[in-house]
Amino acid sequence: MSAPARRPAGQDATLPNPLVVCQAVSRDYGEGTARVAAVRQVSCGVRPGARIAVTGRSGSGKSTLLHLMAGLDTPTAGTINWPGLGGAPHGRPGSVGVVFQGPSLLPELTALENTALPRLFGGHSPGCAASRAAEALRRLGIEDLSDALPDQLSSGQAQRVAIARALASRPRLILADEPTGRLDAATGAQVITALLDVADEIDAGLVVATHDPAVAVRLTESWQMNDGRLAVTTHRANQPEERS
């Protein structure tokens, strides 16, 4: 197997009708001497069907970039657009599914109710939202936990519920932040399989921030973050020409 080709960050931004395009995006936290440049001048794009691993050491800006691409955070410089999602994710609830790095389930709601919530917010009937949620929990192998409250779940089980919640609304773009970070290797592999299967089925773009090389190799593209910059992107499938 030949080594993956390297190409400059931002190349995908030129592809037609991408799900999200970042142009020279920066995100600073704090002011003056306390200022932290979490993301610096990042240009990138996610096309439909993309399978991208965002790698890089802790603090390199992976979570911040995912939150920006989800429309959950606003850049301090640069622009973000979602041409393939009709402009912005806010106007179309459910078009972006996000799996957060930390615990994110609402403690008063069962696993099924947590999973159904995005569809309810999207205006679907409770019955429709519940059946889609049950299907997503089944896909993640945790249908028997439907009635459990978050504090009755292990952190790995809670993470799988959070993934089911992100998939239940069949989003066009799935952004998963360290989705296997709290799982053992076998469960992590199963979760990545579920993410890839669902992304294939619903023709969604998939972006996974991960520390784990075993996860990164299952995705076709790799974006390496380094101190807030998107330093290198590699593509295993098409082996594009080497550039500068």
Max Cα distance, the chain (Å) = 55
User: What's the closest the beta carbon of residue 59 comes to ligand ADP, in angstroms?
Assistant: 4
* Binds ligand ADP by CB under 6 A, chosen from 38, 69, 164, 208: 38
Binding mask 46-85 for ligand ADP (x = CB under 6 A): ----------x-xxxxxxx---------------------
Residue 70 vs 137, nearer CB to Mg ion: 70
Residue 82 vs 100, nearer CB to ligand ADP: 100
Q: How far apart are the C-alpha atoms of 49 and 200, rounded to whole Å?
A: 7
Residues 171, 96: contact at Cβ < 8 Å? yes
Length of the chain: 244
CA distances from 90 to 69, 80, 93, 139, 217 (A): 12, 13, 6, 27, 32
Residues that bind Mg ion (CB under 5 A): 62-63, 101
Residue 57 vs 90, nearer CB to Mg ion: 57
User: What's the closest the beta carbon of residue 191 comes to ligand ADP, in angstroms?
Assistant: 18
Alpha helices in 81-211 (DSSP H): 111-121, 126-139, 155-168, 185-202
Pairing mode of beta strands 36-46, 173-177: unpaired
Q: If contact means CB under 5 to 8 A according to the sort of partner, which of ligand ADP, Mg ion, none does residue 119 touch? A: none
Rule CB under 6 A: is residue 29 a binding residue for ligand ADP? yes
Rule CB under 6 A: is residue 224 a binding residue for ligand ADP? no
